[in-house]
Every structure is written in structure tokens, then in C-alpha cells.
């Protein structure tokens, strides 16, 4: 059976600047990667050298049959010192956009994807009440320079992610407390790392507020206020650009007796933020798996369930459920800005894509305005603290030569995009 998608559907893949560009030396993450006792398993280094090879990568994306590319502009490159804007970096991203245009690729730009300038962290980071205005100033400068070439912009990637991080840390701590030896070793490493953080940023470690850290309620509100202020700034200088935010969302399910816990999780992770994006033009949706709640709270994946390299349950069906509840809550067009799987078994990646897209097709058939699907990710890349060991990419990279090696899943997904149909 052939499932025919709309003619104007966007088929793409996503990357994030720090994960692919390499040598993002003015960012907070670069500094933290190099500290003694770092929580990063390895350094990003050259990553996959996308800052130099972007034209080749965009040409390859187009050759595969895709028509959209979601990528991020790096704040730490654009504004390496507060109030000092790097014109060469702006010109670089101008050429990235030009390369998209030359190959018929529709760009979806993200203005903040986890990494921040080091000066921002020294000024209080994402807990500072001044950060929303600073972020809006950066967005206004970028969009004033480049906005005419940017039809869709996401202000902040996974604005709600600190909630999930706090939950994962709590589960990890509970597990570590049950294993005294591991916990003692972990605590000793963290003491060293915190001392190095203090020296590097000139602040007590507990006041180093990078984006991927647990937030206070005020800090979480800061992130969403930054989105609101950035949206207003962008509309002033680039009124034609469609503006949204992206959020990381689980397919939240309840076992009998877990309904209240599931409802609380949905409110905490999504519904409480609805007022912040009432005036947005679209919603950037990101989903990888489901989360099940029972009477006692969150439940680990079922015994025997297939898991990805990230430890997530292999559950592509979650995407359809999340699209449906997001549209019900927002009544806005949706771009799926991330969905994918970390695995070395590329046949499972192909299966994941097929099953996820069956759900997307069901939503489109029900007249939910899903405008496009951006697979995460275009290229195997630097997966934050976990280094290069988790492989999400449609394209592999020999990092000794930076040679790009499209996987069978890239050809498979490209064929879907080229024909605009999924065969099931």
C-alpha cells in the first residue's frame, strides 16, 4: 500500500551547530569539555567539520532527495564577547543559507541549540533576569542581517529540557545511592569538576548556569521569556519569517492507576507553557520515545523491550500520539523538528522511520497541519556528554578523513522524500 503525502510536504534532516561544526571555542560547552574531571566523555574537537564542509553536506542532503534542512546558528560564534558581533561568522551563515537556496533546500533555522557564549554564563547564564534581553538582542541582529533568507525560525531548542534532565538526575542518584562504590567515585569526580568550573567561569560551581542544567522555577521562566522577547524582536526586523519554539515531548501513557501521574507529567512538561507560545506561527515538535506512568510514578521500559543506544525504548509510534496532543492543545501548524534513533543497526533505523511516518500520515489524513518531518540527524555527530558513541545519523563519518558515508537508511528515507510516498 502507498501512503501519499501532500505535494508541499517538507522532508528534511536536522543538525545542531556544536554537534557538527567543530572548534566552537567561545562556547560554554567547549570550555566545560576541557576541564579536569569533565562530565563529557570526550571533547568535540573538529566534530564532523561541518563549519568547513557545509556546502558538501547540503549538496549531499539534496542529492539524497531531501528538500529541507534544519540547522542552528551558533550564538557563541556570532557574539563571542558581549556586544561584539563577528561579521565573518554572520557571513558564514549567510553562505550556508545561500547553499540551501542553490540546492532548492528550505532552511529551518534554530537560534539557540543548547550552547551559549562563555560570557553569558559568567553574567549569570540562564538564571539571570537579564538573559532574555541579551538573547533577544542577538536574535534581532542575526535576523536583521539574515532574516530575508529564513522562512522558518525556531528561537530555542527544547526549551523544556531542564525538566527532563532533573528527572533523569533524580533517577540516576537513586540508583547510585544503592551502589555505594559507584556513588563515592561519582561524588569525588564531581568535586574535582566543580572546582574546575569555579576556576573557569569565576563563579561558584552552583552558579554556573549553562542551558543543559537543572533549573530553578525562575530560570525556567527565563527561558520562555527569552522566547517571547526574541519573537518580538524578530517580528520587528523580519516580519515575513514564521516563528516557533521546539520542545522535547514524550508520548505520555498511563497504566491503570497512573492516570493522575501521567496528567501531572503532561502539565509539567508541556501544558504549563502554552501561554508563552500562543502568538507563535508554528510549533517545533521533538519526540523519540514514550514515558509510562503507574500508580507510583514513572515506570522503566517494559522488560524485554527493544532499546536504542540512548537507553530509550524503541517506540516510533509515540510520534503520532504527540502530534495529536500538541495540535489539540495549540491548534497550530506543526513541524516535526526532531525524530530518530541512535543505533548501529541501520535496518532498525529504516523500520523506525517507516513506523514513525505511518503515524505522521495518519495525522495528515485527519487534517492535522503537519508541514514537515526533520529526521534526527543528518550526520553521526557529537552527542553532548556522551561523545561520538551514539549514532543517530543518516550519514556516517570517517572522522580520520571526514569522509561522508551515506547509510542505507539515507537512501531509503531519500526515496520516500523524492516520491512523496511511503510504501507499507
Q: How many CA atoms lie within 13 A of 423 on its CB side?
A: 6
What does the pLDDT read at residue 188? 77
The set of residues, in sequence order, having a beta carbon less than 8 Å from that of 418 and lying 6+ positions away, is: 65
Taking the C-alpha atoms of residue 385 and residue 243, their distance in angstroms, rounded to an integer, is 29
Number of H helices, E strands in the chain: 14, 16
What does the pLDDT read at residue 166? 84
> 220 in helix, strand or coil?
helix
R_g of the chain, CA atoms, integer Å: 21
The set of residues, in sequence order, having a beta carbon less than 8 Å from that of 401 and lying 6+ positions away, is: none
Count how many domains the chain has. Answer: 1
The domain of 205 spans: 2-423
Q: Are 261 and 294 in contact (CB under 8 A)?
A: yes
What does the pLDDT read at residue 182? 57
Q: Are 70 and 336 in contact (CB under 8 A)?
A: no
CATH code of the domain in which 22 resides: 3.20.20.80
What does the pLDDT read at residue 172? 60
Closest C-alpha to 244, from 233, 229, 231, 235: 231
Listed in order, strand segments (DSSP E) in 302-352 are 334-338
Q: Is 158 a catalytic residue?
A: yes
Say which of 158, 196, 229, 383 is annotated catalytic.
158
pLDDT tens per residue across span 162-216: 998 887 767 666 555 555 555 677 777 788 899 999 999 999 999 999 999 989 9
The number of residues making up the chain comes to 424
Mean pLDDT per block of 10 residues along the chain (424 residues) reads 97 99 98 94 98 98 98 98 98 99 98 98 98 98 98 98 84 58 71 93 96 93 98 98 98 98 98 98 98 97 97 98 98 98 98 98 98 98 97 98 98 98 96
3-state DSSP: the chain helix, strand, coil percent, rounded to 5? 45, 15, 35
pLDDT tens per residue across span 329-359: 999 999 999 999 999 999 999 999 999 999 9
What does the pLDDT read at residue 167? 79
Taking the C-alpha atoms of residue 111 and residue 138, their distance in angstroms, rounded to an integer, is 9
Q: What is the largest CA-CA distance in the chain?
A: 61
Amino acid at each position: 500500500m502507498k501512503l501519499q503525502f501532500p505535494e508541499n510536504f517538507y522532508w528534511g534532516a536536522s543538525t545542531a551547530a556544536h554537534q557538527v561544526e567543530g572548534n566552537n571555542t567561545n562556547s560554554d560547552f567547549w570550555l566545560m569539555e576541557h576541564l579536569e574531571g569533565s562530565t563529557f566523555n570526550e571533547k568535540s574537537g573538529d566534530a564532523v567539520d561541518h563549519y568547513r564542509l557545509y556546502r558538501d553536506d547540503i549538496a549531499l542532503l539534496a542529492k539524497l532527495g531531501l528538500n529541507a534542512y534544519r540547522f542552528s546558528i551558533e550564538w557563541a560564534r556570532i557574539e563571542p564577547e558581549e556586544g561584539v558581533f563577528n561579521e565573518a561568522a554572520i557571513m558564514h551563515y549567510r553562505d550556508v543559507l545561500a547553499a540551501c537556496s542553490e540546492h532548492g533546500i528550505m532552511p529551518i533555522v534554530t537560534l539557540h541549540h543548547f550552547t551559549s557564549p562563555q560570557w553569558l554564563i559568567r553574567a549569570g547564564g540562564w538564571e539571570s533576569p537579564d538573559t532574555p534581553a541579551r538573547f533577544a538582542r542577538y536574535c534581532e541582529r542575526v535576523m536583521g542581517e539574515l532574516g530575508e533568507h529564513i522562512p522558518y525560525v525556531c528561537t530555542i531548542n527544547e526549551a523544556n529540557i531542564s525538566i527532563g534532565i532533573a528527572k533523569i538526575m533524580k533517577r540516576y542518584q537513586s540508583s547510585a545511592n544503592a551502589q555505594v562504590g559507584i556513588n563515592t567515585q561519582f561524588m569525588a569526580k564531581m568535586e574535582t569538576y566543580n572546582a574546575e568550573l569555579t576556576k573557569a567561569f569565576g563563579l561558584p560551581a552552583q552558579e554556573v548556569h549553562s542551558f543543559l542544567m537543572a533549573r530553578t522555577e525562575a530560570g525556567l521562566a527565563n527561558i520562555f521569556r527569552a522566547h517571547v522577547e526574541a519573537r518580538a524582536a524578530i517580528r520587528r526586523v523580519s516580519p515575513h519569517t514564521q516563528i516557533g519554539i521546539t520542545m522535547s515531548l514524550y508520548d505520555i501513557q498511563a497504566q491503570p492507576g497512573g492516570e493522575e501521574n501521567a496528567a501531572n507529567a503532561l502539565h509539567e512538561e508541556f501544558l504549563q507553557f502554552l501561554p508563552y507560545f500562543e502568538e507563535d506561527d508554528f510549533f517545533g515538535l521533538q519526540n523519540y520515545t514514550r514515558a509510562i506512568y503507574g500508580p507510583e510514578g514513572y515506570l522503566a521500559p517494559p522488560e524485554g523491550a527493544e532499546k536504542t543506544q540512548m537507553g530509550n525504548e524503541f517506540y516510533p509510534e509515540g510520534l503520532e500520539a504527540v502530534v495529536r496532543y500538541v495540535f489539540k492543545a495549540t491548534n497550530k501548524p506543526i513541524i516535526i523538528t526532531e525524530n530518530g534513533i541512535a543505533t548501529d543497526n541501520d535496518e532498525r533505523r529504516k523500520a523506525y522511520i517507516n513506523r514513525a511516518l505511518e503515524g505522521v500520515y495518519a495525522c495528515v489524513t485527519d487534517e492535522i497541519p503537519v508541514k514537515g518531518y526533520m529526521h534526527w540527524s543528518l550526520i553521526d555527530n557529537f552527542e553532548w556528554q556522551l561523545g561520538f558513541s551514539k549514532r543517530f545519523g543518516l550519514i556516517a563519518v570517517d572522522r580520520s578523513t571526514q569522509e561522508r558515508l551515506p547509510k542505507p537508511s539515507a537512501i531509503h528515507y531519500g526515496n520516500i522524500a523524492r516520491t512523496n510516498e511511503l510504501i507499507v
